[in-house]
């Protein structure tokens, strides 16, 4: 769940600068002592003296245990002192005393989101939204919790309602885009990100996300242009620079890819992704000797990946290191037995080494996989 911790606060910071605190006094028939305590507690809150406010609110709930609003305000005082679990307990008491007090449910949900417990926050926030559907901060926090709980379709529905009211809200647009990306709904992510990029404050990271969305939507040339903008805005990001190089490589713009990937490795010689992509580029060009050290680096960094061992095996075969090549290709097909080309390349190498029976088995396996793929594609055709 990369970036989830950041995302959990991304929209919340724009939504609310403090927890929801009920400001109404207790019932009209409350004793004068309780009224006085309310006023005293409010005075301490104005001075940000939360410890003193806590003591007064505790006195109130001792006198009137069913005062839901006093429990809410006690929770606020505790939360301001970063005593989150005690605050949640107070808000639960408030919700039990008055189940229709939306602020209590909201505060619980918001606190759980900030504790990185979005799954647990969702039911509380749904209750709050049901009680106060016009409160944008509550719906916004629910959307964040749904995203954090990886319930992306539900998050998108909440975000759609929010964006209908606030179509130029940068934080909402960014979160909506991320939600669409996680669902593989790249076309919709492109649309939302384009709206966000037309606002102020577009960053290199946003342009890179736009590039990823365009690439996912099959618009790879436009994706490369977006990544060029991302690198221009954030030239120190090797992650973004690698993304640009990978797109050039994907578009067969090998000279540009080589230039960018070499710059990535100059900045960080240990970047194994760049080493693999550049090594594969050299291998594609027929320069196996040049690709070999790069692919060896990638295989060490990613020992459980088919692609790294497969490419390394082909490079070793082309440089005449047949035994090592066979070992790499065997490891590749062990990691993924379902790729026909892995078995085919291993079969070719074994045939070259005079291991005809082993080669025949690999060719048979490659043919089985190839035929199965063709049959599956035929079934899918209308």
Give CA–CA dist 334/336, Å, rounded.
5
Q: How many CA atoms lie within 13 A of 78 on its CB side?
A: 20
Residues 6+ apart with CB under 8 A from 184: 216
Note the pTM of the prediction, 2 decimals: 0.83
The DSSP code for 99 is: T
For 305, half-sphere exposure in the C-beta direction (CA atoms, 13 angstrom radius) is 15
Please tell me the predicted confidence (pLDDT) of residue 31. 66
Q: What is the pLDDT along the chain (382 residues), one digit of tens a residue?
A: 434 434 444 444 333 334 444 444 444 455 688 889 999 999 999 999 999 999 999 999 998 999 999 999 999 999 999 999 999 999 999 999 999 999 999 999 999 999 999 999 999 999 999 999 999 999 999 999 999 999 999 999 999 999 999 999 999 999 999 999 999 999 999 999 999 999 999 999 999 999 999 999 999 999 999 999 999 999 999 999 999 999 999 999 999 999 999 999 999 999 999 999 999 999 999 999 999 999 999 999 999 999 999 999 999 999 999 999 999 999 999 999 999 999 999 999 999 999 999 999 999 999 999 999 888 777 665 5
Cα angle: 359, vertex 361, 362; to 5 degrees: 65
DSSP 129-177: HHH-TT-HHHHHHHHHHHHHTT-HHHHHHHHHHHHHH-TT-HHHHHHHH
Percent helix, strand and coil across the chain, each to the nearest 5: 75, 0, 25
Is 144 in contact with 175 (CB distance < 8 Å)? yes
pLDDT at 375: 83
Q: What b/e string do you get for 125-136 counting C-beta neighbours within 10 Å, with b at 16 or more?
A: bbbbbebbeebb
Alpha helices in 237-355 (DSSP H): 238-250, 254-267, 272-284, 288-301, 306-318, 322-335, 340-352
Q: Which residue has the tokens 């949900």?
A: 109
Helix (H, G, I), strand (E, B) or coil at 82: coil
- pLDDT score of 114: 95
């Amino acid at each position: 769940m990369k970036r989830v911790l950041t995302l959990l606060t991304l929209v919340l910071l724009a939504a609310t600068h403090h927890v929801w605190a009920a400001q109404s006094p207790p019932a009209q028939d409350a004793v004068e002592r309780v009224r006085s305590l309310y006023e005293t507690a409010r005075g301490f809150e104005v001075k940000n003296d939360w410890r003193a406010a806590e003591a007064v609110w505790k006195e109130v709930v001792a006198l009137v245990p069913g005062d839901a609003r006093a429990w809410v305000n006690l929770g606020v005082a505790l939360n301001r002192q970063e005593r989150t679990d005690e605050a949640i307990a107070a808000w639960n008491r408030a919700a039990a005393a008055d189940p229709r007090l939306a602020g209590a449910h909201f505060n619980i949900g918001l606190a759980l989101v900030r504790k990185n417990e979005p799954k647990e926050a969702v039911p509380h926030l749904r209750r709050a939204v049901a009680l106060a559907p016009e409160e944008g901060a509550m719906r916004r926090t629910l959307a964040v919790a749904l995203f954090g709980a990886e319930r992306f379709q539900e998050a998108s529905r909440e975000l759609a309602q929010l964006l209908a009211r606030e179509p130029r809200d940068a934080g909402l647009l960014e979160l909506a885009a991320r939600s669409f990306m996680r669902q593989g709904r790249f076309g919709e992510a492109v649309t939302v990100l384009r709206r966000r990029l037309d606002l102020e404050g577009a960053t290199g990271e946003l342009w890179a996300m736009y590039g990823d969305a365009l690439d996912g939507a099959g618009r790879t040339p436009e994706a490369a242009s977006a990544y060029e903008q991302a690198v221009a805005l954030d030239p120190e990001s090797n992650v973004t620079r690698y993304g640009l190089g990978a797109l050039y490589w994907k578009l067969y713009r090998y000279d540009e890819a080589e230039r960018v990937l070499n710059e990535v490795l100059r900045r960080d010689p240990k970047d194994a992704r760049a080493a693999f992509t550049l090594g594969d580029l050299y291998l594609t060009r027929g320069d196996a000797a040049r690709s070999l050290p790069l692919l060896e680096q990638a295989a060490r960094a990613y020992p459980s990946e088919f692609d790294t061992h497969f490419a390394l095996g082909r490079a070793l075969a082309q440089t005449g290191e047949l035994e090592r090549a066979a070992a790499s290709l065997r490891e590749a097909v062990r990691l993924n037995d379902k790729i026909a080309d892995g078995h085919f390349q291993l079969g070719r190498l074994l045939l070259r080494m005079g291991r005809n029976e082993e080669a025949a088995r690999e060719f048979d396996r490659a043919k089985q996989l190839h035929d199965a793929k063709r049959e599956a594609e035929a079934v899918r055709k209308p």
